[in-house]
Amino acid sequence: MDQQTTRLSLPSEPRTFGFHVDGRDVPAGEREVFVRHSPAHDVPVTRTVACTPADVDDAVAAARAAFDDRRWAGLGGADRAAVLLRAAALLRERVDEIAYWETLENGKPIAQARGEVSGCVGMFELAAGLARTLHGDTFNNVGDDALSLVMREPVGVVGVVTPWNFPFLILCERVPYILASGNAVVAKPSEFTSATTLILADILRAAGLPAGVFNVVTGTGPTVGQAMLEHRDVDMVSFTGSTRTGRAVVEASARSNFKKLGLELGGKNPQIVFADADLDDAADGVAFGIAFNSGQCCVSGSRLIVERAVADAFARKVADKLARIRTGDPLDEATQAGAITTEAQNRAILDYIEKGKAEGATLAMGGTAMDLGRGRFIAPTVFTDVTPDMTIARDEIFGPVLTILPFDTLDEAVEMANDTEYGLAASVWSKDIDTAMAVSRRVRAGRFWVNTTLAGGPELPIGGFKASGWGREAGMMGVEEYTQVKSVHIAFGPRQHWID
Ligand code: NAD
């Protein structure tokens, strides 16, 4: 069949999931159940459990016991690597299934979902290698009667709270690295997109991960997430989500046991385009950077900062690209942009568009919901005549809305790029190596792209400067982030007594 016309069908009835504690799937029982409707098709697709704080207690207790008896932390790195490699192989076999449920709950195009899930296989493989190579340091220069060791130990029980925009990808940018050093995990996916996290629990169990090392509680942030944040037996929380919720995470940590935190928060990421760039490549990159995942991307390039001499011509090129994006049914193989995942997000994007108009920006294209017969879709939207103080130039919109700001000098471009509370990602487009490198050194962001955007691999650490977060995920740094450092000083030979 022609690839362009391939379309998967909807499930005949919603798939029912339990939650996962101590190696077992727990059915809803008397608890409430969430019925998730596909944001692109308006039909029910999954049923997941609204867990209670008592369920969080059970999951944390299972993780605590699994960590404390060293059933996982006590294994050698090679044994942990073997489990992670088996998980990678099982994941590879289930890519289509995971991508299908991701698309149904999230609304992202199926081809994109498949690409994301396939990429997660490599994360497990890389983490397996890192489980074997993780090591500390020694000081053999402290005298003949002593030796100092710097050891890395797993931090303990780690809570992983994830958002709805990349439910499986974000999970896998964390979990394999967290498991590599021997930690135990309690994961709390977004209540809108829990299915694929629960499928991962099944894969890890089948791969031979000991019971209790990976647990999943489903439900809302204020009930289930908050209980986990405040739990005194949780040693660390990895939180990915909005900057607003990030503040609640820090406060809860301070109120409870000062648990260690990893925070991956929002972004308002600049795309800086110089006149000497390949403008066709840059236009494609800028359109991709704002429309990929319908702009619901923490690293979306939402602020186009473009050299004034080419600003108008470049804006036309970007608009031409955006107008040709195939937005539609995410179960269609040819679709490039899918639905807006939640109703609240849909309203927020449309409200920002109204605010942009009210504050005096010019709507150059889009600006409306798209009527595709069912589901929630928003047309790629571009604003010109934007000033840096406008709300649409400052707030993270988390939708396919691009603001265009012209600049005259490199200094001005850098200043505009850094004029934000965030510092997650940035791109520069220029064929001049001096320009590209000068900008890359001066822009304050955790990820930086030169003549590309939204690119890289699992070896590269990810994370933000400023209000975009704390810590780094992925790669060796992503393993080390979930360890504690212990220094051990060993004396040998007779002691020189302090008291005669
Ligand atoms: P959100 O902050 O509303 O929710 C994220 C997660 O936190 C969900 O699982 C939610 O249930 C939970 N949560 C909500 N309130 C909580 C509370 N009081 N205690 C504990 N948990 C709570 O964010 P969202 O709307 O799901 O996701 C969008 C946001 O996530 C955007 O701001 C985006 O930039 C950010 N994000 C950041 C990254 C990154 O890597 N920096 C990646 C993806 C998304």
How much is the average pLDDT of 234-246?
A: 96
Please, which pLDDT band fits residue 6 given cuts at 50, 70 and 90?
A: confident
237 contact partners, CB below 8 Å, separation of at least 6: 158, 159, 160, 161, 228, 229, 249, 253, 259, 260, 261, 262
pLDDT at 300: 97
CA of 241 to the centre of ligand 1 (A): 2
Give the least confident one: 1-10, 91-100, 201-210, 394-403. Answer: 1-10
CA of 382 to the centre of ligand 1 (A): 26
- Tell me what percent of the residues of the chain surpass a pLDDT of 70: 99
The residues of the chain that CATH labels 3.40.605.10 are: 15-265+468-486
pLDDT at 3 over 50: no
How much is the average pLDDT of 277-295?
A: 98
The residues of the chain that CATH labels 3.40.309.10 are: 270-450
Task: Report how far residue 8's alpha carbon sits from residue 92's, in angstroms, rounded to the nearest whole number.
Answer: 19
Rounded mean pLDDT of the chain? 97
Strands (E), 275-330: 303-307
**Tens digit of pLDDT for each residue in 161-178?**
999 999 999 999 999 999
**Tens digit of pLDDT for each residue in 416-432?**
999 999 999 999 999 99
Atom of ligand 1 nearest to the CA of 464: 41
CA-proximal residue: ligand 1, atom 34 (nearest): 266
Q: Which CATH superfamily is domain 15-265+468-486 in?
A: Aldehyde Dehydrogenase; Chain A, domain 1 (3.40.605.10)
Residues with CB under 6 A from ligand 1: 161-165, 170, 188, 190-191, 220-222, 225-226, 229, 240-242, 245, 248, 264-267, 298, 396, 398, 424, 464, 469
Task: Report how far residue 134's alpha carbon sits from residue 492's, in angstroms, rounded to the nearest whole number.
Answer: 27
The CATH fold assigned to 270-450 is Aldehyde Dehydrogenase; Chain A, domain 2 (3.40.309)
Task: Report how far residue 315's alpha carbon sits from residue 456's, in angstroms, rounded to the nearest whole number.
Answer: 26
Q: Shortest CA distance to 181 belongs to which of 140, 238, 130?
A: 130
What SS3 class is residue 411?
Answer: helix
Q: Print burial letters for 41-59: b (CB count within 10 Å at least 16), e (below 16).
A: beebbbbbbbbbeebbebb
What is the C-alpha R_g of the chain?
24
Residues belonging to the active site: 264, 298
pLDDT at 261: 98
pLDDT at 415 over 70: yes
How much is the average pLDDT of 231-253?
A: 96
The structure tokens listed for 63 are: 């993780």
Atom of ligand 1 nearest to the CA of 345: 25
What SS3 class is residue 382?
Answer: strand
For residue 428, the cross-strand partners are 272, 450
CA of 33 to the centre of ligand 1 (A): 21
Q: Look up the pTM and report it.
A: 0.96
CA of 424 to the centre of ligand 1 (A): 15
Atom of ligand 1 nearest to the CA of 244: 2
pLDDT at 4 over 70: no
